[in-house]
Structure 1
């Protein structure tokens, strides 16, 4: 059971989004999707999917930058509270940078009861949730909760059922508004057809432009809610769970309205032409339903979508038609009635005495079938074209409606219109019109029209047009599962699943899961996940996951939010909770340890230092890295009057904050001392090693002073151009006739910008 709640907390003055300048408004978002409510709750399927869909529309059309989004899935109570802390830091940073207005948005999809959110068996009380929201330093606060029994949240405030509309709330607003997608004693529902909850699906469709009743290219909170309310009520009236009736409690005073999305923000767009009418379902290249809208004739409608390939399905007067199109950067693409081509309805079974069509007719049972080809067989002689089910089939090409709990041996192939239960073996191909429960074995191709529970093995290609459970798919060529994977895909070429994968993908080429990967991906080439990886990605070349919980091991690792470890030559991530270990590490923020030769953290350190030392009169250093670990690039010019020497070096160190203004940096640096007259020719036989400690004081945000001791060791071999580097007392040790070591304590003083 799921109920959606929208809360608009506007506890300070706010200006209209359409009146404010873009640079004056900063919008931040915390998005949480948790399928697991605890051992006593039915596990949801689409809570995390809903959170990602809401995150995507905010990113594309809602003005939320990637660095201003915190997306959390499969987290517990502590994880949500940690997300609030991250959102609070973002809001404080926005205030510090001079944003005139700060807006924060919370989205939660998962389980709850009449007392609070339920997260993996743990409870987050509504009171604590309200305090966390009110504690965010923002002008406008919007919260969307898609969870069980959330209607009680509105009822606790004394709310009563009212007509479904939302008052204007944008310019000078104080108070709050609580909106629920169903009453406290109703259940909200999620749909396999939609791949998400009814209310969230229609709310996202509305935000993409379906709710833009004024046709001004912007969707307000009022428009989005009203559209989602009416669509949800209409689409749930005849479902098993029953209709959902929204109610709310409003305590707002103000004028104006809050703009949620701007359709002009995307670089591409879809325009539904004026003559076009009917219910439209728009899916992206991988089949995800992104927009559903009832289009009326007489006025054009614009939808905000990202560039890419799409397919639109139209239902009108009992007929079904489809159109395919591609949205390009900077182009608004129009879709008209002439772009659609009619398609047939799927064969269905009508319950309650209706007629049966296609393969749904009652099958006749013949234990054995002998055939040359499907039309020349004992099945055809005895049953004509009627559906037949066999237990054993032997022939050059076996054919029939179904194989029920038996074995089919075909010299060339086996073709079944319905399901295969048992084993189908052929040198050429195996084709099942629907599910396979058992084994398909061939040298060339195995195709299942539905789900596979068992195994497909071939030298060429395995295709399952549904879920794959069991041993999985084994091929030298490629494995394709057009559904969820629960098992193993192993291939020399490629493994692809168009939905979630739980288990293992092994290949020499490419592994791709177009959903959440729970398990292991191992390849020589590329491992790719479209939404989230939970487990291990190991590749010689590239690992990619927008969200990772586990480990990436490869030459190049690319992740979004990473909880765990990236180990490779190049590691790239958004927010990291754990470790990056590599030659080059790049991230937005690290809560852990980035260890590498070159580490760049967007929210970490990036400083220019100018200092003098006993070794070099003038030195410049560039420090970059995380909050506690950094890399420094060094360059210096000698102290003598003729400036005959310079140095270039690299260092690794750690940063230790001491309160709000003081800090200590400790690092190890290595430099080469070169001649300004003939650099890199004959004087490269030396190496300067330094252990440095620097105590710093932050004078202002972009200015600090520092100083501290150093210990230096200069190793030379062959004949160096310089007798010594420091004017201080130096100890000298001759290792052999050509190698000498000089070491001494020194100092440095400088400023940091």
Structure 2
């Protein structure tokens, strides 16, 4: 007991040692942390999971010659400290590692390891791909794992929906999924015979893109376009796309010369060489949801400012040709490096010029071509419109103002104050003569002046030349009536500010002109026969607008 008390007193003395002052409520024990340890704790990690499925339990899936080698070769590049310099690369090729459950378990383990938003994560899968109808009867893409049964694909193979779910749950905002597989019924793919017969004659565009809605900062690369065949090649001893991907990571894909190979640079390099090698029969594709100033670097390090780059992976621009200073550079999607300075940029398809602009590009700048497209279309519109205004209820139309014509001006600002939001200001004016029926067979003439001023903040939906908009609106309504009859001569005035809604559309006829139509509903308050009531005030207008 004496020894125990002594140890307790010694511990208390240590806690109240010389670091505490007389005015302190307690002492602080200094914690020494090495700067290198802190740096490691906050440095983003680079992690890769590479899967190559070459052999299958079910003999009806033919073995693949190079899938395991694909994963091993790519892993060697990513682990190389002079090229990929990844911190962790897991390569799964053994039979016990390539089952459905083993691959899902590896993805979940990766989710536990890549915990920082700025970690770089690469998932690569080389295997057969196939199509089958799931339990709901919907056509679904599947990755053929080692234990997949040819006769029970939905239950035994790995669906792309399950793969998508695991991929989207990765905390990293800088992630890449590469699918070196296909589902067209040939090459690295097999289809059940009954499904082959069902799909005979269906164009490849029928197949849904399984991961196109991946969350922001995700990139999904496929070795072939949807419905095409991904091929292995004896002379290359690899999947063709993977062979050129590995070659590009050696430095050949560094198109802007900044010392690093980004994911998009590597894909573009491999895509072009795969297309040329297969004489156009295999066209690798990409779904890139965010490409910003901080792209996913797969090899090398940025050690200098690169040449300016222009790029687009937007499906809307697929097939357009990018010309710089009159010289064709590439057919989109993809990217190219250009010299710094003032450049004339054109997007063309055949004889059609979608956009032509002069831009100044600087060293190290990355210019999305969609930006030029959006800037080329003016986002402001001034429209001259005409239409009708009327109260919604019959009593107000009878006792206050029947339906009346109106002309007006509408100013619409798009993407103000935020993207896909608009700001609208409209002014309407109407003047004329109407009659009130005060008794059967007795009508009283009057003159009217109606003036409306509205401000709205609608949401915008845009497809090609069509823009739809709808949203809240606040408007002021001024109404004046003047009578000149034997029983009464004089005027009445009415003014209110009330909430409402607006909806409409605009169709661009060219770069500047558009046709527009809109309707609005205002909830207002009027007094009829000494009785106040809330009523609706409607308006419908159409006209021609000028974008500027």
Shorter-chain TM range is 0.3 to 0.5
Taking structure 2 as the reference length, what is the TM-score of the superposition?
0.37
Higher helix share: 2
State which structure, 1 or 2, has the greater radius of gyration over its C-alpha atoms: 2
Q: Bigger relative contact order, structure 1 or 2, given CA contacts below 8 A and separation 6+?
A: 2
